[in-house]
């Protein structure tokens, strides 16, 4: 049986592969603990070893926004990615983003 330890309560949770989830390497997927009902992220390595990462932002807490460094620089400026859930947010206003896109052309 494939299980992952919940980072919040430490209980073993069964992983449901029915929809092909949790088979993508280097991609974290969200899952809900069957014991404490909290959400956390599960990352998968090539050996299909599963590891649970605490994700406070999935349980009503703030995201942990980190700057994204990439190329072209203008494209990533003002954008941040949450270190817990991988969500990306644009911190620029629509107008500022349009200006940036103009600079890209």
Can you give the binding site for Zn ion, defined by CB under 5 A? Answer: 6, 8-9, 33, 35-36, 57, 63, 82, 84-85
Q: Whole-number minimum distance, CB 31 to Zn ion, in Å?
A: 10
Q: Whole-number minimum distance, CB 100 to Zn ion, in Å?
A: 23
Q: How many CB atoms within 10 Å of residue 22?
A: 19
DSSP 6-75: -TTT--EEE---TTSTT-STT--EEEE-TTT--EEEEEE-TT--EEEEE-GGGGTSPP-EEE---SSHHH
CB nearer Zn ion, residue 81 or residue 97: 81
CB nearer Zn ion, residue 87 or residue 99: 87
Q: Whole-number minimum distance, CB 12 to Zn ion, in Å?
A: 9
């Amino acid at each position: 049986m494939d299980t992952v330890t919940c980072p919040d309560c430490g209980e073993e949770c069964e992983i449901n592969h029915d929809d092909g989830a949790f088979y993508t390497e280097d991609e974290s997927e969200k899952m809900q603990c069957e014991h404490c009902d909290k959400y956390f992220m599960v990352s998968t390595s090539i050996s299909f070893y599963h590891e649970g990462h605490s994700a406070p932002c999935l349980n009503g807490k703030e995201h942990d926004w980190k700057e994204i460094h990439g190329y072209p620089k203008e494209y990533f400026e003002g954008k941040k990615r949450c270190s817990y859930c991988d969500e990306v947010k644009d911190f620029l206003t629509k107008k500022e983003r349009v200006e940036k896109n103009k600079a890209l052309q």
